[in-house]
Structure 1
Amino acid sequence: MTDAPRVLILGIGNILWADEGFGVRAVEAFHRAYDVPANVTVLDGGTQGLYLVNFLQDHDHLLVFDAIDYGLEPGTLKLVRGDEVPKFTGAKKMSLHQTGFQEVLSAADLLGAAPRELALIGCQPLDLEDWGGALTEPVRGRIAESLALACAILAEWGVVVAPRATPLPEGAALLANDIDHDHYERREAAASPTI
């Protein structure tokens, strides 16, 4: 009997640039919604770039959430797998993190530690220039669908996740210091001028 694959569920992006934060917000929502088995790690990779190589070395399968400019309608989700993933993470560079993530994949490959299975759930952004802004509605509206797609991919890999029976306790979120989705969105709403 073989050991269960070590799976990394990773969100990358920058929450300070509106839809560029899709990957972080998606992985954060996944963490809030699902319990995962011990062989699965859920990680906010933010804009850490090459610092993520160590995490890839420790895992066999990688599932990534990210904002990707596919040249499609804003809010469109697209699944990319295997060798196609690096092509999309650098095809139309939107921010520094994408080039960094391409380098992460290359570095892991050079170290002989590239994931055996690789899947990218990308969402076409609408706005990447709203400094400090929240996700736009077309992108925010696709998070639930991206989580369902992630669960389907994980099931293909033999990983069963379960909806959380009880909400995460305070302090167990992936992001803290008022940058988690709920606090950040409330701050955005409070800062918006009323008309």
Structure 2
Amino acid sequence: MKGNREKNFLIVGVGNVFRGDDAVGILIARFLKRCFKENVKIIGVETSFDELIQFFGDYDLIIFIDAIKSGEKPGKIYRLKFGVDKIPAQLEFFSTHSVGLIEYIEIAKALGKLPKELIIYGIVGKDFDVGSSISSEVRVSCKEIIREILSEIGA
């Protein structure tokens, strides 16, 4: 098995910075860009996933970070390993995109484009209104997810 320095990682922050807690994926991705230099590519997706699928096979691990809606406490974190963990029915990945994150991953799977490992971090949001700020509950969860990702990749 390759060491973490020999593996290629892609971190994708998903969201919309103008819609409150939906900004969480983008904000975490922006922070993580300062933490990695070599084998980790970090991008933010605010519009469409379409261009991304062609690169899936180039990575050993892809991590998605996105806001979710559910009846649960804002700031709650879900860590889901695609293909291993069942995605709870009550989770709704918030999307202003024509195709949502889970549907997009299912398309990549059908096309045989999935990486060796794919992890989704979902953070339960509180406020998704246009013009709102990220909630304090979600802001606290950002720090925890950053720590988990740094540990996961071995930074």
TM-score range, shorter chain: 0.7 to 0.9
> 1:16 is matched with which residue: 12, 15, 18?
18
Closer, same or farther: CA 124–114 of 1 in aligned 2, 3 Å: same
Following superposition, the deviation at residue 59 of structure 1 comes to 1.8
One-letter code aligned to 1:145: E
Deviation at 1:57, TM superposition (A): 3.3
Residue matched to 2:148:
149
- State the one-letter code of the partner of 1:16: F
Q: 1:79 to 1:61 in 2, by over 3 A?
A: same
Higher-strand-fraction structure: 2
d(CA) in 2 for partners of 1:19, 1:79: 17
Q: Could you say what the CA RMSD is over the residues aligned between the two structures, in angstroms?
A: 2.6
Query: Matched residue pairs, number?
Result: 153
Matches within 5 A, 1:52-91: 52-83=52-83, 87=87, 91=91
Name stretches of at least 5 consecutive residues in structure 2 with no aligned partner. none
In 1: Cα distance, 2:103 partner to 2:64 partner? 15
Q: Under a length normalisation based on structure 1, what TM-score does the superposition of the two structures give?
A: 0.68
Structure 1 residue 71, shift from structure 2 partner: 2.9
User: Retained in 2: the 8 A contact 1:85–1:118?
Assistant: no
The 3 A distance-change label for structure 1 pair 85 and 22 is farther
Equivalence for 2:40: 40
Q: Judging by fraction of residues, say which structure has more helix.
A: 1
8 A Cα contact 1:85 1:119, kept in partner: no
Per-residue CA shift, 1:169-193, capped at 9, x if unaligned?
A: xxxxxxxxxxxxxxxxxxxxxxxxx
Distance 1:88 1:151, change over 3 A: farther
Assess if the C-alpha contact under 8 Å between 1:93 and 1:99 holds in 2: no
Give the counterpart letter for 2:138 in structure 1: V
Cα offset, 1:18, TM superposition? 0.5
Verify the 8 A CA contact 1:50 1:100 in the aligned structure 2: no
Q: Counterpart of 2:52 in 1: which secondary structure?
A: helix
Runs of 5+ consecutive residues of structure 1 not aligned to the other structure: 156-160, 162-195
Q: What letter matches 2:21 in structure 1?
A: D
Quote how far apart the aligned CAs of 1:85 are.
Answer: 6.7
Aligned ranges for residues 42-191 of structure 1 at < 5 Å?
Answer: 42-83=42-83, 87=87, 91-97=91-97, 99-129=99-129, 131-155=130-154, 161=155
Q: Which amino acid aligns with 2:63?
A: L
State the TM-score, normalizing by the size of structure 2: 0.83
**For residues 21 and 2 of structure 1, what CA distance do their matches in structure 2 show?**
33
